[in-house]
Structure 1
Amino acid sequence: MSAPHKIVCYPVGNGDTTQIILSNGRRILLDYCHRKKGEETESPEIDLKERLKQELKNAERDYFDIVAFTHADLDHIQGSTEFFDLQHAEKYQGEGRIRIRCLWVPAAMLLEEVERDEQSEEFCILRQEARHRLLEGKDILVFSKPDTLKDWLEPKLKERGEAANARDHLFIDAGTIVPGLSLASDGVEFFCHSPFIKHCDGTDIVRNSASLVFNVRFLIGEATYDYFHVGDTEWTDIEDIVKTTLYHKNDDRLAWDLYNIPHHCSYLALSDEKGDTETNPKPLVKHLLLQGKNDAYMVSSSKPIPDLEESYKETQPPHIQARKAYKRHLEEVEGRKLLVTMEEPNANKPEPLVFEIAGGGIIWRRSISIGSAAIVTSRPPRAGS
C-alpha cells in the first residue's frame, strides 16, 4: 500500500505555513512564518525553523521541491531570508540554508515598490530573488503577467539578447493547471484561481487581492479530494473567483474537503460587516462555503478564538463572529470539524495539524512529530464516502 499524501498546518500564531508532503516524497511549502519568540520554550508558537529542518533531515534532503509565497505580508514571509538559500547573492547562501528547487510567487511580488512596504528589508530581498530567477529563466513560476511586469521584463531581456517572449513559459494564468505536478505522476495538481491580471496591474497593488489562491486536487485510486488554499484574500476577491469559475464552468474547482480559512479568520473574508454575534457571508462567498463535501474540515491559521464576551469586540483577527459563520456552514454541509492551529491539542503548546489523504478520504491525525505514530482523532468515513 502506498504512503498517503499529507497536509501539515503549523501553529505560528496569526500567520501561515502549510506543507504538502506527497506520497512520492515531493514537498511543497506554502508560505513561511518563523517568529523568534517561537524559539523560546514557553512560547506557544512553534519553532518553525528547527521543526522544518528536522523534518527535512529525517527525509534526507536539504530542499523543498516548491516554495510558494502567497503574498508578501510579514506573516507569510517572516524569517524566510535567513532560512532559505537564495540564488541572487552569496550572502544568502551556505551551509544550513534550505534550497528552493522552484519558487512560486504572484506577479505583485516582483512589482511592488520597496518604499511602500513597512517590512521593506525582507520583502526587498525576496523581490530581488524572484526577479533574479525570472531573468535567469529557471527555478521559478510567476502567477499572472500584467502589462506593468512586461514593461519591466522585456527591456531587460532585450539587453540580454533574448526575445520578448523568452520567459512566457514561466508565467501562469488564473484558470489554468500549474505545470510541474500532475495527477498521473504525483497524485496532485494545482488549479490556479487567482491572481487575475487586474489584481497586479498598475501602481496601486493590494497584496491580499493579488495573492495566490489554489484548488489543490489529490488523486487516490480513482477518487479525488480537494484542498482549497486561500491565504489572505478578502470577500470581494473571493466573489470574483467564484463568479469567474462558474462562468468558465469549472464548478468542480470550488469543491473542498479541506478549507483554509482566509486571513486568520477575519470577517473581511466573508463580508464588509462583522455582525454583532455572527458574520453573514456575501452571496458568492456563501456559495463557496456550501461547496464543502460531507466529512470536510476547515482550518484557521490563527491565534485561539474563544467564545468570550470580550471576543466580540476584537478589531483584529481572528473574529469570533467569523468563526461562528464558518462553523455553521460547515455543519450545513455535514462537515466534521473546524480546527484552529493555535488551539490543538491545547492553546499552551499546540502541535501541527496533520491531515492524511488516503483511500478513506482526508483524515485529521494528531502526532507529536511528523512521521511518528499517529492517533486518529476523527470518526471513520461515513458509509459510501
Structure 2
Amino acid sequence: MTTTHFVKFYGVANGDTAQVILDNGRRVLFDFCHRGNAEDLDTPEIDLKATLKKELKDADRDYFDVVAFTHADLDHIQGSTEFFELQHAKIYHGAGRIKIKDLWVPAAMLLEEADNDHQKEEYVLLRQEARHRLLNGQGILVFSKPEALREWLEPKLKERGERPDARDHLFVDAGTLVPGFSLASDNVEFFCHSPFIKHCDDGSDVIRNSASLVFNVRFDADGQRYDFLQVGDSCAEDLEDIVRTTLYHKRGDRLGWNLFNISHHCSYLALTEDGKKGESETEPKELVKYLLRQGKPDAYIVSSSKPTPDVKESYTQIQPPHIQARKAYERYLREVRGRKFVVTMEEPNARKPEPLVFEIGRSGVSWKKTTSIGAPALVLSSPPRAGACD
C-alpha cells in the first residue's frame, strides 16, 4: 500500500490554522483561529468550528493527537477556549468540546505577564491549561526551558514532593526532534527550529512573535522524503537566527522545503526590517534569501492571509498582506523552480474560499485544487528529481 499524508490550511482572514493528517490517522493541528463572523454565510471566512468538527466526525474522532499553539496572539488562538476541552476546570468539559491529547506550547505562553490591554481572556485560560498539564506531568510538551520557567516550576514541584527535574522530559529544546513521532513509526518527524532560550527569558508581550514555534516537518512517503516548513509569526531577524544556528550545527537539510507556510500573513517584516518594504518589491535580508532559496523544485508557498491583489491601492497598504512581500516570495519561488504561491483567502475564489489541501505521496507534494464551480481537480507535482529528497 502507498503512504499518503495531507496538510490542510484554513481560510481565516489574517490568521492561522493548519492541520497535518498522517497516513496512520494521527492529526496535528497548528493554531486555531475562529472568526466571530465566520458563521454568517455571507462572510468569506471559513466556519472553522463547524469544519473541524465535521472532519473529526467523518474520521470517527472527538480529539486531536496534538494541538500546537505557535504563540498567543489572538489570530492564532481565537475561539479555542470555547472549542477545546480544557482539563484544568470542569466548566470547560463536555458539551461537544474537542479533546487535546497533547498540547504543544512555547515556554513564553506559560510565562507571559502582559498588561490588561493585551492579556486577553483566552490567553489567560490557555496559560492556566498549559500550567495545569505541566504540573500534572502529562498531555503537554513545552518548547524551551528558560530560567524564569525553572524558577516558577521547581518550587511547585517541591510542594508536591517531587524532584526539581521531574518534568524535564516534557521540555523540548531548539535543534532537536520532538518526541512522540518518528519516521519509523509514523512516517513523519518534527524538528524544532525555535524558540531559543533567549526568546523566552523575558516575560514581556513583545517576545511573542520571536518566541513562536517553528518546525521542519519531514514526511516519508514510500522512501521519498518531503519537508514542510511551519513558521509562526517570526520576523526576519528571527528567521536569520534560525538559518545561522542551523547552519552552524551542520543541519542545513532542515532548512529545505517542499511546502512553506510563510510568517505573519505575508508581511514584509518577515523578509526585512521595519521601514524597508520597498516600492514595488521587498528586498529580503541575506539569510532570509538563503532560506527562500532552499525551496525544492515544484515547491509551494502558502500565505495564511487575506487576498493580495496586484492593484495600485495594495502598494500603500499599511497592514499585511503586503504586495511587495508577495512579489519577493514569488520571485524566489520562480528561482527554485517552485510551483505556486497560494493564498488561503483566494482559493478557489475570494468570495468563498475553501480549505487548501496538499497531498504528500511518493510522487511529491500535490495541491488538491477545487475549481470555482466546486468540482475537485488535482494539480500534480512532477516526479521527484534525483537528489531532491535527500
TM-score by length of 1: 0.97
Listed one character per residue, the Cα deviations across residues 38-85 of structure 1 (whole Å, up to 9, x for unaligned) are 100011000000000000000001000000000000000000000000
Counterpart CA distance in 2 for 1:37 and 1:381 is 42
Change (3 A) 1:39 1:25: same
SS of the counterpart of 2:37? helix
Bigger CA drift: 239-248 or 86-95?
86-95
Unaligned 5+ runs, structure 1: none
Q: Contact 2:216–2:255 at 8 Å: present in 1 too? A: yes
Aligned to 1:183: 183
Aligned: 1:375 with 2:377 = yes
Listed one character per residue, the Cα deviations across residues 140-197 of structure 1 (whole Å, up to 9, x for unaligned) are 0000000000000000000000000000000000000000000011010000000000
Count residues in correspondence: 382
Q: Contact 1:8–1:20 at 8 Å: present in 2 too? A: yes
Change (3 A) 1:383 1:184: closer
Map 1:210-225 to 2 at 5 A: 210-225=211-226
Aligned to 2:162: 162
Map 1:189-268 to 2 at 5 A: 189-204=189-204, 206-268=207-269
- Offset at 1:120? 1.8
Counterpart CA distance in 1 for 2:338 and 2:362 is 18
Counterpart CA distance in 2 for 1:142 and 1:282 is 30
Map 1:302-381 to 2 at 5 A: 302-367=305-370, 374-378=376-380, 380-381=382-383
Aligned: 1:52 with 2:52 = yes
Change (3 A) 1:235 1:169: same
Give the CA RMSD over aligned residues.
1.5
Aligned to 1:102: 102
Counterpart CA distance in 2 for 1:379 and 1:134 is 42
- Offset at 1:221? 1.6
- Offset at 1:117? 5.3
Listed one character per residue, the Cα deviations across residues 254-309 of structure 1 (whole Å, up to 9, x for unaligned) are 00000111100000000011011000000000000000000000000000000011
Change (3 A) 1:120 1:230: same
Point out 4+ residue stretches in structure 1 off by more than 3 angstroms.
378-385
Aligned to 2:16: 16
Aligned to 1:151: 151
SS of the counterpart of 1:355? strand
- Offset at 1:220? 1.1
Counterpart CA distance in 2 for 1:257 and 1:288 is 12
- Offset at 1:4? 1.1
Aligned to 1:299: 302
Counterpart CA distance in 2 for 1:194 and 1:319 is 25
AA of the residue aligned to 2:19 = Q
- Offset at 1:119? 4.8
- Offset at 1:91? 0.9
Aligned: 1:132 with 2:120 = no
Counterpart CA distance in 2 for 1:382 and 1:169 is 37
